[in-house]
Structure 1
Amino acid sequence: MNIGFTLIAQAIAFAALVWIIATKIWPPLLNAIEERQKKIAEGLAAADRSQKDLAQASEKVDELVREARTKANEIIEQAHGRANQILEKAKDEAVELANRQKAAAEDEIATAVFRAKEDLRKQVSVLAVAGAERLIKREIDANAHKALLDELATEI
């Protein structure tokens, strides 16, 4: 064998191999690599968008939590105010009821005092009549002298 012929044959075989790789294998391989790069770029872009969306959602959640806390505090303040109003109203009603009961009790006491005075006047008039009867030793007709007895009762 001739070394020159072997080298030329090997060079032709190598050139054919390079040509086959460059035309048949390399373009699909580059296309696959480019598609993979595009998918990776899209994935990174989607990840960035997701991070931005997550940050926005987190800010929105924080804002909603702040609003909810503010509203909760307002509701609590309103509830305290309403409770104070109810307590004040109940106190006012209790004071009013106590005043009415006191007035009713005073009226009852005044009525009882008046009745007691009337009973006492009647008893005094009966005693006065009995005393006068003993003094003059004769019986006085209570019906006949009713006007006199009433006048005597009012004076007492």
Structure 2
Amino acid sequence: MSINATLIGQMIWFALFIWITMKYVWPPLQKAMADRQQLIADGLAAGERGKHDLELASKRSADTIREAKEKAAGIFAEAEKRGAQMVEEAKDTARAEAQKVYDAKLAELEQDTERARSALRDRVAELAVAGAEKILRREVNAAAHADMLSGLKQEL
């Protein structure tokens, strides 16, 4: 095997081609591959962050829903309590109003009773005077005997 100038020339050109490729072609290819690797790594990291954020958001939404349900239950219980309180207040007001009406009617009844007694006394007095007049067969002067009639009313 003889080494001739063609083989040496090819080796030189091949070495020169390797050196040019390493100097000018290989760095942009490595940079493009590194950029692509970084882009893929960023995408994977973003996916993981998104997954983590989704889990956190799910937990927060579940907590918010739970808190809302608790608050709604509290509001419902407070509304029931306030409703029962309003019913009791209405009952108390109705009882007080009924007592007022009862007291007013009782006072009115007592006044009516007193008026009826007074009217009855007057009528009894009139009947007594009429009876006495018939007995005595003379007229009784009402003005002259007003004191006597007042005393008679008081006795009756």
Structure 2 length as normaliser, TM-score? 0.82
User: Per-residue CA shift, 1:12-63, capped at 9, x if unaligned?
Assistant: 6656545543443223212211111011101211211121122112211221
Q: Which residue of 2 aligns with 1:115?
A: 115
The 5 Å alignment of 1:34-49 reads 34-49=34-49
CA distance in 2, matches of 1:23, 1:102: 115
Equivalent residues, number: 153
Per-residue CA shift, 1:55-79, capped at 9, x if unaligned?
1122112212211221222122112
- C-alpha distance in structure 2 between counterparts of 1:31 and 1:107, whole Å: 109
Unaligned runs of 5+ in 1: none
**Aligned twin of 2:33:** 33
Distance 1:138 1:27 in 2: 156
Residue equivalent to 1:131: 131
Distance 2:118 2:97 in 1: 31
Give the equivalent residue in structure 1 for 2:67: 67
Which segment drifts farther, 137-146 or 48-57?
137-146
Identity of aligned residues (%): 42
Cα distance in 2 for partners of 1:82, 1:30 equals 75
Corresponding position of 1:103: 103
Greater CA deviation, 118-127 or 70-79? 70-79
Q: Distance in 2 between matches of 1:80 and 1:111?
A: 46
C-alpha distance in 1, partners of 2:154/2:38? 122
- Structure 2 counterpart of 1:120, one-letter code: L
Distance 2:19 2:150 in 1: 152
Q: Over aligned residues, Cα RMSD in angstroms? A: 2.4
Give the AA of the match of 1:85.
Q
Any gaps of 5 or more consecutive residues in structure 2? none
Q: What letter corresponds to residue 118 of structure 2 in structure 1?
A: E
Secondary structure of 1:106 counterpart: helix
